[in-house]
C-alpha cells in the first residue's frame, strides 16, 4: 500500500503547480457564486435542491466537497488539485483492500490496483478539478464494496444498512453508482462464491486457498437483496434527470438521432478498450461525430461479440474473465451516451475510471493463469509487469503535463484530434484573456466553421469584439448566439451591455429585461436595468430591480450605493442610510460612500454622524473637495465657523473653480469678523458665477462691515 501511494505521488506530484481550467472548473469552483461562499446553511440547501438553476446536474456531495475546499484553500488551485490526488490515492488503496479481502490474492490485487493507479486513461479524473465527482463517487463505490464484503460474511440488517447508506452517499456524488447493484451480483459469483450456477461447479485455481468464507445463498435471494439498492439508484436517476431537465441540459433526439447514439456507443466500447491497451492521443474532449461509417460500427460490434461469446462459454473455468468483462460492459452503460446532456463528447477518458477496473481484473488474474498454462514460472512475470507499470507511469506523467493550463491542454487537444471546435473555442478564450484578440478571433472563427451552431462560440466571439470596442460586430455575434439558443441569458445580458455602450437604451433595457426573466437571480442585469430606469425617472421599477440585485447578491456594494442615492433623491433618507452603511460594511475604505452617507445623516438632522463620515471620507481621500466643503458647512451650521474655515480653504485649494466653496468660505469669514477674507472670497465666487445676486448681496454686506 505504501508502494502504491509513493508511485502515484511520483506521477502526479507536480499537479500542485497547475492552474484552474476554464472548462467546467469555472462552473464548479471559481465562477460559482454558491461554491465561492463556502459551507453555509444556504449553500447546503442550494446543493441539495435538484430544481435550482445550474449548469451541472444534481450531485450535492460533490458541491459540498468543492465548498469545503474553498474553506480550506480559498481559490488557490494547488489545494484543490492536491485534494483530487488524495482522493485518487485513497481509491487506489481501497481497491487493493477490496480485491485482497474478496480473493485473498495479494499480488493480483496489488497489480490491478497499480494499473488503476498509473494508467493514463485516469489522468483526466485526477488532474481535472471539476472531476472531483468521479473521485468521490468511486471512493464510496469502494466503501460500499467493503461494506458488502462484511455483509457477505455475516448478513444482517445493520450490515445491509451500511451498504445502502454508503451507496446513497456515492450516488449523491455522481449517479455512476447506478450499476453497482449489478456489479455486486457479479461479485456474488466470483470471487465471493455466494452463488453457484450448478451444484457441481467449483471455482478454478484462480480462487486462492486462503479465500475467506462468505455466506452462500440462492440466486433468488441474492437478486432480492439488490432490489432496494436498485430502487435507490432509480430514485437518484430520476432526480438526476429532473435536474438536467430543469436546467435545459438534455440533448433531444432531433439534434442527435438515437441511431447515431447507438452506433457511437458500440464504437466507443471498442475505443475504450484500445485506449486501455494503447493509451496514446488521450485528450480532454473528443468531438461527437456527425456520422459513423457502417464498417466501423460492424467491426466494433464483431469485436465485442468475439470477446463476449468465448468468455460466456468459459465462465466456469475462468470466472474472473467474465466478471471483469461484464463489469466493464455494464458500468460503462450510464456514460455511453444513449441519454445525453450538456456538452456531450463522443467518449471521455474520465468515464472509464470505474469501468477500466474490470479490464484490470481480467489482466491481473488472467496473466498468471496464462503463464501457468504455458509452463512459465509466475516469478518471471514480475519483471515485465514492473516494466509495463513503469511505461504506464511515464505516459501518465507526460499526459499530466498537458493539464498545466488552458493553453497547453487545448493546444494538445488540437494536435491529437480533428475538427475539435471545443478546443478552438477554449483556446480562443485563453487568447482573449491574454489580450491577444486577433489570435482569439482566429480560433473562434475556426470553431464556428466546424460547428456553426455553437452558441457559446458566437457568444465568446462577441465578448472579444466588445472588449476591443468593435461594438456593431459584437451585436451581430451575440444575436447569432441568441438565435441558436434563445434562452441564453448571459448573451442577452452582454447584448444589453453592448447596446448601452452604443447608447441604444431601449434595446439595452429590452435585453436586460429578457435576462432577468430567464435568470431571476442575475444580480448584474437587475443592477444595470435599475440604473437605466432611474435615469428615465422610472423610480418605482428602478427601486424594485436594485432590491432584486441585492437579494441575489447581498454583498453587491455598488447596488447598495446606487439604491441609497436613489432613496436619498426621493427623500427616503432613513432607508438610504441603511444601504450606505451596508455598502460601507463591505468596503469601509470608500470615500464617496462615506461622503454620501454623511449627506444623508445631515438630511435627517444627525449632524454628529455626518461630521464623523465626512472626516472618514477626507481621511481616505484628502483631496475630496466636496467632503471638505460639506464638512465645513455642517460645522458652520453648528456655530463652529472657526473650524469650518480650514476645510473651506482646503476645498478651494483642491479645486480653485469651486464657486460655492468660495462663497461658503466668505460666509465663514464674515461670521468670524474677517472682512477682507470675506470680501476676497465673495469676489472670487462672483468671478466664477457672474451676476449671482446672492453673492453680490453678500459682498455688499461684507464691504459695510465696520
pLDDT tens digit string along 524-578? 999 999 999 999 999 999 999 999 999 999 999 999 999 999 999 999 999 999 9
In CATH terms, the fold of domain 622-706 is 1.25.40
Average pLDDT over residues 613-641: 95
Say how many Å lie between the first and final Cα of the chain, rounded.
100
Q: DSSP for 640-676? A: -HHHHHHHHHHHHHH-TT-HHHHHHHHHHHHHTT-HH
For 287-296, what is each residue's pLDDT tens digit?
A: 999 999 999 9
DSSP letter, residue 40: -
At 269, give phi and psi (nearest 5°). -55, -45
208 or 613, higher pLDDT: 613
pLDDT confidence band for 240 (50 / 70 / 90): confident
For 116, which DSSP code?
A: H
391-419 b/e with 16+ CB inside 10 Å = b?
A: ebbebbbebbbbbbbbeebbebbbeebee
- Contact partners, residue 374, CB within 8 Å, separation at least 6: none
Q: Mean per-residue pLDDT for 376-383?
A: 85
Across 514-520, average pLDDT: 94
- 631: closest CA among 607, 653, 654, 652? 607
Of 190-204, 236-250, 307-321, 577-591, least confident by mean pLDDT is: 190-204
What is the Cα–Cα distance from 318 to 190, expressed in whole angstroms? 10
Kindly indicate the confidence band of residue 378, based on its pLDDT and cuts at 50, 70 and 90: confident
Q: Which has more confidence, 199 or 586?
A: 586
For the cut 60, the answer to whether the pLDDT of residue 198 exceeds it is no
Q: Which of 625, 631, 680 is nearest to 658 (CA)?
A: 625
pLDDT at 329: 98
- Polymer length of the chain: 706
pLDDT, position 214: 87
Half-sphere exposure of 238 (CA within 13 A, CB side): 6
Q: How confident is the model at residue 447 (pLDDT cuts 50, 70, 90)?
A: very high
HSE on the CB side for 133, CA within 13 Å?
Answer: 22
Q: How many CB atoms within 10 Å of residue 594?
A: 26
Q: CA separation (Å) from 402 to 415, 423, 427, 435?
A: 11, 13, 14, 22
Apex 560 CA angle, 554 and 562, nearest 5 = 145
Distances (CA, A) of 233 to 61, 62, 103, 226: 16, 17, 27, 11
Q: Extract the C-alpha cell encoding 305.
A: 461479440
**DSSP codes of every residue in 382-394:** HHHHHHHHHHHHH
Sequence ranges of the chain with CATH classification 1.25.40.10:
622-706
Identify the residue whose cell numbers are 475467506. 212
The per-residue pLDDT for 242 is 85
Instruction: Decide: 323 and 72 in contact? Cβ < 8 Å.
Output: no
Tell me the per-residue pLDDT of 330-349, one tens digit each, with 9 for 90 and over.
999 999 988 887 788 999 99
- Return mean pLDDT, the chain: 93
pLDDT digits (tens, 9 = 90+) for 29-80: 999 989 999 999 999 999 999 877 666 789 999 999 999 999 999 999 999 9
pLDDT at 208: 44
- Render pLDDT for 500-509 as a digit per residue (tens, 0 to 9): 999 999 999 9
Q: Residue 207: what pLDDT?
A: 46
Nearest-5° Cα angle at 106, 101 to 107: 145
Residue 657 has pLDDT above 90, yes or no: yes
φ, ψ (nearest 5 deg) of residue 620: -75, -40
DSSP state of 337: S
- Cβ-proximal residues to 45 (8 Å cutoff; 6+ apart), any chain: none
Mean pLDDT computed over 145-160: 96
pLDDT at 99: 98
pLDDT at 3 over 50: yes
For the segment 177-192, the average pLDDT, to the nearest whole number, is: 97
Q: Could you tell me which of 664, 655, 580, 563 has the C-alpha nearest to residue 617?
A: 580
Q: How far apart are CA 633 and CA 595, in angstroms?
A: 13
587-611: per-residue pLDDT in tens? 999 999 999 999 999 999 999 999 9
Residue 123 CA to residue 396 CA, distance in Å, equals 7
DSSP string, 351-418: GGTTHHHHHHHHHHHHHHHHHHHTT--GGGGHHHHHHHHHHHHHHHHHHHHTTSSHHHHHHHHHHHSS
User: For 445-474, what is the mean pLDDT?
Assistant: 96
Q: What is the pLDDT of residue 210?
A: 44
Give the residue carrying C-alpha cell 464510496: 140
Neighbours of 362 (CB within 10 A): 22
- Cell numbers describing residue 698: 453678500
The pLDDT of residue 404 is above 70: yes
Residue in 507, 599, 521 with CA at minimum distance from that of residue 554: 521
Write the DSSP symbol of residue 341. Answer: B
Handedness of CA 460, 466, 468, 470 (dihedral sign): positive
Position 703 scores a pLDDT of 86
Question: Cell digits for 574?
Answer: 432613513
Element (H, E) at 519: none
- Structure confidence at residue 212 as a pLDDT band (50, 70, 90): low
Say how far apart CA 108 and CA 114 lie, in whole Å.
10
Lowest mean pLDDT among 134-143, 200-209, 392-401, 442-451: 200-209
**pLDDT per residue over 381-399, tens digit each?**
899 999 999 999 999 999 9
User: Rounded CA gap, 5 and 132, in Å?
Assistant: 19
The pLDDT, as a whole number, for residue 529 is 97
Q: What are phi and psi of 54, to 5 degrees?
A: -165, 160
Helix residue ranges, H only, 177-317? 180-189, 219-246, 258-277, 294-313
In three-state secondary structure terms, 48 is: helix
Single out the residue of 496, 504, 489 nearest to residue 529, CA to CA. Answer: 496
Amino acid at each position: 500500500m505504501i508502494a502504491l501511494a509513493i508511485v502515484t505521488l511520483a506521477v502526479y506530484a507536480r499537479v500542485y503547480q497547475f492552474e484552474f481550467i476554464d472548462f467546467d472548473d469555472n462552473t464548479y469552483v471559481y465562477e460559482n457564486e454558491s461554491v465561492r461562499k463556502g459551507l453555509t446553511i444556504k449553500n447546503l440547501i442550494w446543493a441539495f435542491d435538484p430544481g435550482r438553476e445550474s449548469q451541472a446536474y444534481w450531485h450535492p456531495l460533490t458541491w459540498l466537497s468543492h465548498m469545503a475546499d474553498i474553506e480550506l484553500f480559498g481559490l488557490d488551485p494547488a489545494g484543490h488539485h492536491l485534494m483530487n490526488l488524495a482522493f485518487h490515492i485513497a481509491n487506489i488503496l481501497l481497491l487493493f483492500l477490496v480485491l485482497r479481502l474478496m480473493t485473498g490474492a495479494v499480488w493480483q490485487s496489488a497489480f490491478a490496483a497499480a494499473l488503476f493507479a498509473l494508467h493514463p486513461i485516469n489522468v483526466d479524473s485526477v488532474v481535472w478539478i471539476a472531476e472531483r465527482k468521479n473521485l468521490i463517487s468511486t471512493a464510496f463505490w469502494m466503501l460500499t464494496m467493503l461494506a458488502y464484503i462484511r455483509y457477505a460474511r455475516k448478513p444482517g440488517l445493520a450490515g445491509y444498512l451500511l451498504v445502502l447508506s454508503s451507496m446513497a452517499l456515492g450516488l449523491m456524488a455522481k449517479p455512476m453508482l447506478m450499476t453497482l447493484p449489478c456489479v455486486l451480483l457479479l461479485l456474488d459469483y466470483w470471487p465471493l462464491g455466494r452463488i453457484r450456477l450448478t451444484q457441481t461447479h467449483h471455482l478454478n485455481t484462480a480462487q486462492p486457498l486462503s479465500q475467506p468464507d462468505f455466506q452462500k445463498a440462492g440466486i433468488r435471494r441474492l437478486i432480492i437483496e439488490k432490489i432496494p439498492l436498485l430502487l435507490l439508484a432509480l430514485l437518484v436517476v430520476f432526480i438526476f434527470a429532473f435536474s438536467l431537465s430543469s436546467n435545459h441540459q438534455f440533448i433531444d433526439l432531433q439534434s442527435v438521432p438515437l441511431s447515431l447514439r447507438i452506433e457511437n456507443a458500440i464504437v466507443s466500447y471498442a475505443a475504450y478498450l484500445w485506449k486501455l491497451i494503447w493509451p496514446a492521443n488521450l485528450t480532454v474532449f473528443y468531438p461527437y461525430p456527425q456520422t459513423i461509417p457502417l464498417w466501423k460500427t460492424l467491426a466494433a460490434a464483431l469485436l465485442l461479440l468475439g470477446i463476449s461469446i468465448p468468455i460466456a462459454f468459459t465462465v466456469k473455468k475462468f470466472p474472473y474473465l467474465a466478471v471483469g468483462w461484464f463489469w466493464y460492459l455494464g458500468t460503462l452503460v450510464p456514460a455511453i451516451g444513449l441519454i445525453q446532456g450538456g456538452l456531450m463528447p463522443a467518449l471521455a477518458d474520465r468515464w472509464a475510471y470505474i469501468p477500466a477496473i474490470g479490464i484490470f481484473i481480467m489482466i491481473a488474474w488472467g496473466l498468471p493463469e496464462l503463464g501457468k498454462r504455458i509452463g512459465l514460472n509466475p516469478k518471471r512475470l514480475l519483471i515485465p509487469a514492473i516494466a509495463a507499470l513503469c511505461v504506464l507511469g511515464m505516459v501518465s506523467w507526460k499526459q499530466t503535463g498537458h493539464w498545466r493550463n488552458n493553453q497547453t491542454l487545448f493546444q494538445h487537444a488540437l494536435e491529437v484530434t480533428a475538427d475539435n471546435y471545443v478546443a478552438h473555442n477554449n483556446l480562443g478564450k485563453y487568447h482573449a484573456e491574454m489580450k491577444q484578440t486577433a489570435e482569439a478571433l482566429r480560433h473562434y472563427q475556426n470553431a464556428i466553421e466546424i460547428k456553426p451552431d455553437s452558441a457559446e462560440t458566437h457568444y465568446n466571439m462577441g465578448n472579444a469584439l466588445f472588449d476591443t470596442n468593435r461594438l456593431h460586430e459584437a451585436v451581430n455575434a451575440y444575436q447569432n448566439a441568441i438565435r441558436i439558443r434563445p434562452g441564453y441569458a448571459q448573451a442577452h445580458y452582454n447584448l444589453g451591455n453592448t447596446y448601452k455602450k452604443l447608447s441604444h437604451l431601449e434595446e439595452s433595457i429590452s435585453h436586460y429585461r429578457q435576462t432577468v426573466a430567464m435568470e431571476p437571480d442575475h444580480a448584474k442585469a437587475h443592477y444595470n436595468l435599475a440604473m437605466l430606469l432611474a435615469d428615465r425617472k422610472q423610480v418605482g421599477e428602478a427601486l424594485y430591480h436594485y432590491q432584486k440585485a441585492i437579494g441575489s447578491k447581498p454583498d453587491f456594494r455598488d447596488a447598495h450605493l446606487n439604491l441609497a442615492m436613489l432613496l436619498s433623491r426621493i427623500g427616503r433618507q432613513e432607508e438610504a442610510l441603511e444601504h450606505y452603511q451596508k455598502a460601507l460594511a463591505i468596503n469601509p475604505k470608500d470615500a464617496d460612500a462615506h461622503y454620501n452617507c454623511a449627506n444623508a445623516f445631515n438630511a435627517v438632522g444627525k449632524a454628529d454622524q455626518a461630521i464623523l463620515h465626512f472626516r472618514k471620507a477626507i481621511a481616505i481621500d484628502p483631496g475630496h473637495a466636496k467632503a471638505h466643503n460639506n464638512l465645513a458647512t455642517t460645522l458652520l451650521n453648528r456655530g463652529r465657523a472657526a473650524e469650518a474655515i480650514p476645510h473651506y480653504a482646503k476645498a478651494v485649494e483642491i479645486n480653485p473653480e469651486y464657486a460655492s466653496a468660495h462663497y461658503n468660505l466668505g460666509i465663514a469669514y464674515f461670521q468670524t469678523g474677517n472682512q477682507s477674507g470675506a470680501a476676497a472670497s465673495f469676489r472670487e465666487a462672483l468671478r466664477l458665477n457672474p451676476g449671482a445676486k446672492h453673492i453680490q448681496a453678500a459682498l455688499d454686506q461684507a464691504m459695510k462691515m465696520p
